[in-house]
Chains A and B, each alone.
Chain A
């Protein structure tokens, strides 16, 4: 089996006259915990949506587990093992936590094991006491954790996390970092987007920098932080 789990070849996306993603080549290996960084508008979230098939590509190809998925509908990609936690929590606000989890899990879990699996996942992200709570009443952090549990319910091979700690305090961020490490340790490949460099340093093995839709740099956290071009565009010059 190939080590590559995801491969983007010359991926380009135009929105009208705006080129949001420009000829990006990106390879992610199985088991990686890769971070995408870049200034606002660099195309990070757009790349996630291209990987999930929310937007069609303008040019290029995407391969997942060795199979081309460029034109595959989103739901089939999800069933192949791709999963995502969105930037703005993509939870069902009017439903309870358990109902949210059921919707996320029922396509992947044997009906007899569904309740146990829901318990296991909400316990894993620390919201087990809130199962019957309506989701719109939860805090932002709790919604983020719920969505992470929902994203895990499909037993994915590759998990995309779009700003998993946005809006969280230090303790919540630390807890989230532990969750992400545990998910990765269980064998799930993760790509995540974040702006919090402390958080990135805490968990990431390899970083990809995007700028104006292009792949700008790639390397370990030390390599990226010492890259003068990256410092100039993103990390600040002082």
Chain B
């Protein structure tokens, strides 16, 4: 019964709810929920690199953008539904490779802590600014126009054999990938690699004296974070058949940081729940302007940092654990 605690109970209930969601909801809501789930990978990517290994990155939306654009460019150049799965895989690998290269130069160059945040923010903004000015007909890769601020439209949906993923099909694919990755991340926390990352997070100088190759571990986890963020971007592009530079802009870049910090950065369940609540809330407010959600979220973050620096969701988990599950 050791595994019965608030976090596991809430996670189980949430995933059961998400699994039956298509049966109790409209097609419109299923589409919206697919988008929310796709965006959760972005928060998980930051939870992995910041929560587990202490690397503070503002660059997750850069990898999100690289993933989304790579999928768009590759799949539209293939122009063959049977090759969308290959495009999907290649796009995620490209996002991971991009993160590896950036991580390699940072971590083997001895860049750490707040400077990683600054560099990744710069990379994100440079990428967003660059993509925003690719409006002319000279900016194309193969047959695909990059489209500048307007982005790329008509990105093909993912196709498995004769099934094109759309609506409920797409929802379940995103949900199942999310559940698998969530379980892997939870397991990973108690694995050898997970402990290696905790060693990196807690004290880099000391950990190298226990035989940890710190720059390698940092680069590796940073690129895994890039893969997850890239996956988010690819799912986003598939979901909306659209990709634009605004997905990498400053407010988009700050959002995963805010969500993960406010939820509790060392806890992936907290990141999933808080991200889902945020996106549902933002959607709810979208009729009067999504910025309201940002104002409220900013306020929540301020409160969180002042009152519960370990995170809102984590604090709630701990309180319920103490009073309901009688855990210390």
Contact = CB atoms under 8 A, between A and B. Distances in A.
B and A form one assembly:
yes
Given A90-B203, A95-B202, A102-B195, A107 B209 contact: no
A92 B209 CA distance: 13
Given A102-B195, A111-B192, A92 B203 contact: yes
A204 B142 CA distance: 74
B207 interface: yes
Interface string A103-119: 11011100100000000
A228 interface: no
Interface residues of B, number: 17
Interface residues of A, number: 25
B198 A78 contact: no
Given A92-B203, A106-B192, A73 B198 contact: no
A86 B202 CA distance: 16
B211 A108 contact: yes
A75 B196 CA distance: 13
A54 B195 CA distance: 22
A220 interface: no
A150 interface: yes
Contact of B206 (A73, A79, A86): A86
B211 A79 contact: yes
Contacts of A52: 209
Contact of A104 (B192, B198, B208, B210): B210
A12 interface: no
A107 B211 contact: yes
A99 B198 contact: yes
A233 B307 CA distance: 54
Q: Which of A79, A83, A92, A153 has the most CB of B within 10 A?
A: A92
Contacts of B154: none
A103 B198 contact: yes
A73 B210 contact: no
A54 B210 contact: no
Contacts of A86: 206
A99 B210 contact: no
A94 interface: yes
Contact of A73 (B203, B205, B207, B213): B213
B76 interface: no
Nearest to A93: B202
A103 B207 contact: yes
Given A99-B195, A102-B195, A106-B195, A74 B202 contact: no
A154 interface: yes
A84 interface: yes
Interface string B165-196: 00000000000000000000000000010011
B211 A95 contact: no
Contacts of A75: 208-209, 211-214
Contacts of A103: 195-196, 198-199, 202, 207, 210
B211 A94 contact: no
Contacts of B206: 86, 90, 92
B208 A94 contact: no
Contacts of B210: 78, 103-104, 107, 150, 153-154
Contacts of A78: 208-211
Contacts of A83: 209
B198 A74 contact: no
A92 B213 contact: no
Nearest to B202: A92
Contacts of A73: 208, 213
A153 B211 CA distance: 11
A62 B214 CA distance: 22
Interface in B97-124: none
Given A54-B205, A86-B206, A92-B202, A154 B195 contact: no
A104 B202 CA distance: 13
Q: Which of A74, A102, A103 has the most CB of B within 10 A?
A: A103
Given A54-B205, A90-B203, A90-B206, A107 B212 contact: yes
Q: Which of B199, B211, B212 has the most CB of A within 10 A?
A: B211
A94 B203 CA distance: 11
Contacts of A150: 210
A78 B202 CA distance: 18
Nearest to B216: A75
A191 to B, nearest CB: 15
Interface string A67-78: 000000111001
Contacts of B209: 52, 54, 74-75, 78, 83-84, 90
Contacts of B198: 92, 95, 99, 103
Contact of B202 (A94, A111, A153, A154): A94
Contacts of B214: 75
A100 to B, nearest CB: 9
Interface string B33-66: 0000000000000000000000000000000000
5 contacts: A54-B205, A84-B209, A95-B198, A106-B192, A154-B210
Interface of A: 52, 54, 73-75, 78-79, 83-84, 86, 90, 92, 94-95, 99, 102-104, 106-108, 111, 150, 153-154
Given A86-B206, A92-B206, 4 more contacts: A75-B212, A92-B202, A106-B196, A154-B211
